[in-house]
Structure formats: C-alpha cells, structure tokens
Amino acid sequence: MIKLKLKVNGNIHELEIEPHAILADVLKKELGLIGVRVSCGEGECGACTILMDGKPVLACMMLAMQAEGKELLTIEGLGTYENLHPIQEAFVEEHGFQCGFCTPGIILSTKKLLETKPDSTPSEIAMSLSGHICRCGAYPKIIKSVQKAAKKLEDNHGKK
Amino acid sequence: MNNTTFKYLRPISPVKACELKDKYGESSRFWAGGTDLLLQWKEDVVCLDYCIDLSFIPDLDYIRKDSDAVSIGALTRVASIETSSELNHSLSIIREAAGELATPQIRNTATIGGNICRAAPSADMAPPLLVLDAEMKFVSASGERWVAMDAFFLDLNQTALEENELLAEIKVPIPPVETASCFLKIGRTVIDIAIVNMAARMTMDDRGILTDVRIAFGAVAPTPLRIKAAEEILLGTDVSTIDDTLVGKVSNKVGDEIKPITDVRGTAEYRREISRVLTKRAIENIIQTLQGRLNS
Ligand SMILES: Cc1cc2nc3c(=O)[nH]c(=O)nc-3n(C[C@H](O)[C@H](O)[C@H](O)COP(=O)(O)OP(=O)(O)OC[C@H]3O[C@@H](n4cnc5c(N)ncnc54)[C@H](O)[C@@H]3O)c2cc1C
C-alpha cells in the first residue's frame, strides 16, 4: 500500500491505496463518487471523464497516483440536486440524455468547452464531445443542451 | 487480465529516472501519460514490476521557440501541442496531427514522448516529425546524445533508445520560408487510430526548384517511415512543371515501397490504394501553395 493525498471537489483526502490503483476505482470505491461512470475501461467511451485542473481526462486511463497534487472535479462537485449547475439545468430542460450513464462525463466536458469557447457552433460542440459515446443516441439533444447551457451561462455572466 | 501490482517510483529529474532504470532494468518502465502503457500492463503485454512515473519531473513539459528551432519537452501533453502558437507555418502539421490524435480527454493526458517511444506503426506524431527532420535528445545516467528522427524507429515497437535511456526532448528545425507541408490521416472515425496517416514537406529555392522533399507514412509498415524513393522523384524538379503524370509516378512509387498489412481497420490493398491517393492530395496541396508563393 502507498499513501496518496487527493484533492477532489475542493476536499483533501488522505488515502492508502494499491500503487497500481486506477483513479476511477479510487474515486468510486474509496470516496463513493459514483457519478464517475466506468463503461469500457479502455479509454474509448468517455463515461469516466472528470476534470483535472479544469481539463477533461479519463479517470479509467490513469493511476490514482498520477492525480496527486491536482484539482479534481467530478459531477458531484458541480451542482447539487437542489441547486443544479446551469449546464445541468440545460440538460434537464432540453432532455440531453436518455439513460443518463454518459451524462456526468459529457457535462464536465461541456464545462471546459464553454469556458474556452462559449460561442461554439454545433460542429465545434460535436468535435469537442467526440470522446463521448452515448449509446442511446441522444446526440442532437445533447448539442441543443450545450447551446442552451451556453446561453444560460452568458445570461448569468458566468456567476457560477 | 493482470492482477499483480507493481512498485511505484516518482523520480524528480531525468537523471534520477535513468538511475532507477539502470537499477531495475527490463522489469521497470517509464510511465508518461500511461494511455498506452496502462492497457499494455492490464493485458499483460509488458513486464512491469517497477513503474517509474515521469509526470512529476519538472522541466520536461515545454514548447520553446528560438531563432532556428522549436524544442518540445518529451512530457508535453498532446493537447498543449494542439493549441501551441509556436508551431506555425510549415510546423503547423505537428499541431494538426496532435489535434487528430485520439479524443480530447486522451490528448489532455497523452504525451508526445509516449506517442513516439511506444513506436506504434500508426503513431500520429511520427510522420510530421519525420518530414521536418526532428532530432531527439536521449538522456541516460551517464550523459546525453542526439539521434535523428529518421534513425529513431528500428522495428515494430522498437526504437533507438537503449534500455537505460529516456527521451527528453524533440527538437524541430525551422525550415526555410519557401516551405510548405501537409498532414493527412484516414481513420474509421475522428477518434480512431489511423488506417493510414502521412505527412509531406517540400522546400524550394527562389527559382521554384525543389531543394528538399520529404514524404513519410504511418500504419503501412512495421514502423512509421520515410519513402525516400518517392522523395527522389520530386527532388530537383521545378514546381511550375509538376503535372499529373509526375504526381502519378510518385504516388505509384509510394504504393510499391510500402508493406501494409490487413487488419480490423482495413485490408492491405485498401491501405495501398489510400496511400496513393493521399500522396496525390498532399503533393497537390503543397505544390499549389508553393506555386502561389512563386507567383506572388
Ligand atoms: C482510446 C485510445 C485512442 C487512441 N488513439 C490514438 C490515435 O488516434 N493516434 C495515436 O497516435 N495514438 C493513439 N492512442 C495511443 C496513445 O494514446 C498515444 O500513443 C499516446 O501519445 C501515448 O502517450 P503516453 O504519454 O500516454 O504514453 P505511455 O503510455 O506513458 O508510454 C508509452 C510507451 O513509451 C514509453 N515512454 C513514454 N515516455 C517516454 C520517454 N520520455 N522516454 C522513454 N520512453 C518513454 C513508455 O515506457 C511506454 O513504453 C490511443 C489510445 C487510446 C487508449
């Protein structure tokens, strides 16, 4: 076992893990953050996407040890059930999902996209979400949701 | 599926990392982004008793430009390359290749060094670095040496790096102004590894004579490689006289020289045909740019 200090959603956790533990497993099993979804486990589907220092990365494709000293954000740190983040609100309002399995990852990638390029076109949105597979095929509504989220964030003047 | 664990080591300098490699030899591996290594370890393809994590070494993640070259640290993330304004003009093919490598999330983790050192035939960063005559800086516990990109790939998954050496930097010389370049990739989807990828780069003198020609392909042989026999056909020709017959000759030469295989992504015949087509597209694209410059 090896010691690891992990900063997730603003909280610091002191953990003891196996050196080869995968970040996604540590977030889910040790910290109970089940919004980190693992589907393919091989970097293809994007369900396990989290933000590391603000950038989307795949939690299933890295060692937990690689994340030491970084700021991690999972969907649990974005909004709460009572107080959804504007991007989450937009996905609910536009039905940007069906089963919802891929949604946490897509919302986190959307956060980064809208910080970098709030006026993204539908094709830019599609390209920036190319690392996410939605097996329900909700893509058209996902793109609408992202556009609505952009509008909400603009109206809020980025208050959140 | 692999269930064994490994020792995790976190050196703080390239030399310290090489000392660990000297100590543990083949049972140890450098871990950069881990996007290749993690899967190889899970599938038990590589022996990994000691994981030497390079990501905590400062000073291996940079893109620096000086008067004659752009230097890229081996631990630079593919995503940083994709958005780097230092990689402009004929060096922009490095940026384009980075932008077509895997998915945005993987690009935030994967490093350029890992892409090259893994030496997959399809490595997207390889063709641009080959045609731009990049130089690779190897570091070991006892010193450093430079190796030309053209001498870097030896065989399938094999590079000129010795067991105890680490790739520290990739230095890309800035070509003369009258240079144009092109990167092309054909994949099943925008996020898949290449069925075929390629890059070309040509430099002309002030009369429009091609003084330097580079054509490199990936996923059509055990390693990414330059197609020198095809380059030679164009060398010394006048850009204003290059016609379909000559372009056809070059692309057929490429078809003859490559050794593609059939796999899930495509058949050997398909790869050969696509390679001919991509050669034509790349030459036409470059020649058009160069002719435009001659006439302006
Ligand atoms: C879903 C998916 C899609 C992908 N798509 C593509 C694609 O489209 N195009 C493409 O080219 N690749 C693709 N890849 C492969 C991979 O992501 C890239 O090759 C990546 O750049 C590897 O970098 P890394 O830092 O993660 O390497 P690692 O996995 O950390 O290392 C790879 C190898 O290089 C060695 N190594 C790393 N750095 C050094 C160094 N500085 N000195 C010496 N040895 C070193 C390691 O020991 C290891 O053997 C894909 C991978 C996945 C999982």
pLDDT digits (tens, 9 = 90+) for B56-115: 998 899 999 999 999 999 999 999 999 999 999 999 999 999 999 999 999 999 999 999
Which mutation among B9, B118, B157 tests ligand 1's pocket best, with the greatest number of atoms within 8 A of CB?
Answer: B118
Cβ distance B35 to A43 less than 8 Å, yes or no, reads: yes
CATH tag, B180-295: 3.30.390.50
Residues A49 and A97 in one domain: no
Helix (H, G, I), strand (E, B) or coil at B78: helix
Residues A57 and A6 in one domain: yes
Confidence of residue A77 (pLDDT cuts 50, 70, 90): very high
Is A43 in the B-facing interface, judged by CB distances under 8 Å?
yes
Q: What is the CATH number of the domain that holds A20?
A: 3.10.20.30
Of the candidates A2, A55, A56, the beta carbon closest to that of B8 is on: A2
**Cα torsion angle, A142, A59, B79, B127, sign:** negative
Of the candidates A18, A52, A131, the beta carbon closest to that of B104 is on: A131
Q: Can you give the pLDDT at residue B2?
A: 63
Q: Can you give the pLDDT at residue B3?
A: 62
CATH tag, B7-53: 3.30.43.10
Q: Can you give the pLDDT at residue B190?
A: 82
Helix (H, G, I), strand (E, B) or coil at A22: strand
Residues A62 and A9 in one domain: yes
Distance from the CA of A126 to the center of ligand 1, in angstroms?
Answer: 24
* Amino acid at position B61, single letter: D
Tell me if B82 sits within 8 A of B98, measured CB to CB: yes
Q: Which residues of A touch B35 (CB under 8 A)?
A: 43, 61-62
Q: Can you give the pLDDT at residue B44?
A: 86
Instruction: Give CA–CA dist B102/B190, Å, rounded.
Output: 8
Q: Can you give the pLDDT at residue B200?
A: 98
Instruction: Give CA–CA dist B100/B191, Å, rounded.
Output: 7
Residues of chain B with pLDDT under 70: 1-3
| Spatial CB neighbours of A48, under 8 Å, sequence gap ≥ 6 | A24, A36, A37, A38, A39, A58, A59, A60, A61, A105
Structural domain boundaries, residue A93: 86-159
Q: Please state, in angstroms and as integers, the Cα–Cα distance from residue B22 to each residue in B8, B25, B152, following that order.
A: 16, 6, 21
Final residue before a domain boundary, out of A42, A77, A112: A77
Q: Can you give the pLDDT at residue B47?
A: 86
Please count the other Cβ atoms lying within 10 Å of the Cβ belonging to residue B215.
Answer: 32
Closest residue CA from atom 37 of ligand 1: B114
Residue B60 has phi, psi (to 5 degrees) of: -115, 5
Q: Which two tokens stand for residue A124?
A: 């830019």
Structural domain tally of chain A?
A: 2
**Cα torsion angle, B10, B11, B12, B18, sign:** negative
pTM listed for this prediction: 0.96
Place of tokens 């536009």: A94
Q: Can you give the pLDDT at residue B1?
A: 58
Let me know if B99 is exposed, middle or buried by CB neighbors in 10 A (0-12, 13-18, 19+). middle
Q: Which residues of A touch B7 (CB under 8 A)?
A: 19
- What's the average model confidence in pLDDT over A129-152? 97
> Which CATH number among 3.30.420.10, 3.30.465.10, 3.40.50.880, 3.40.640.10 corresponds to the domain B63-173?
3.30.465.10
Q: What is the CATH number of the domain that holds A150?
A: 1.10.150.120
Q: What is the pLDDT of residues A38-75, one digit of tens each?
A: 999 999 999 999 999 999 999 999 999 999 999 999 99
CA distance A83 to chain B (A): 27
Cβ distance B53 to A65 less than 8 Å, yes or no, reads: yes
Q: Can you give the pLDDT at residue B58?
A: 86
Final residue before a domain boundary, out of A47, A77, A107: A77
Q: Name all residues whose Cβ lies below 6 A of ligand 1.
A: A 43-44; B 29-37, 74, 78, 101-102, 106, 110-111, 113-115, 117-118, 122-124, 161, 166-167, 193
Helix (H, G, I), strand (E, B) or coil at B266: strand
Residues A92 and A147 in one domain: yes
Residues A13 and A72 in one domain: yes
Kindly provide the b/e burial profile for residues A64-101, where b requires at least 16 CB atoms within 10 angstroms of the residue's own CB.
bbbbbebebbbbbbbbeeeeebbbbbbbeebebbeeeb
Instruction: Give CA–CA dist A89/A99, Å, rounded.
Output: 16
Instruction: Give CA–CA dist A148/B278, Å, rounded.
Output: 40
Distance from the CA of A61 to the center of ligand 1, in angstroms?
Answer: 11
What is the CA angle A13-B79-B31, rounded to 5? 60
Q: Can you give the pLDDT at residue B203?
A: 98
Cβ distance B34 to A66 less than 8 Å, yes or no, reads: yes
Residues A38 and A97 in one domain: no
Distance from the CA of A42 to the center of ligand 1, in angstroms?
Answer: 13
Q: Which residues of A touch B41 (CB under 8 A)?
A: 20
Instruction: Give CA–CA dist B178/B108, Å, rounded.
Output: 33
Instruction: Give CA–CA dist B24/B22, Å, rounded.
Output: 6
| Spatial CB neighbours of B144, under 8 Å, sequence gap ≥ 6 | B137, B138, B168
CA distance B53 to chain A (A): 8
Q: Which atom of ligand 1 is nearest to the CA of B111?
A: 25
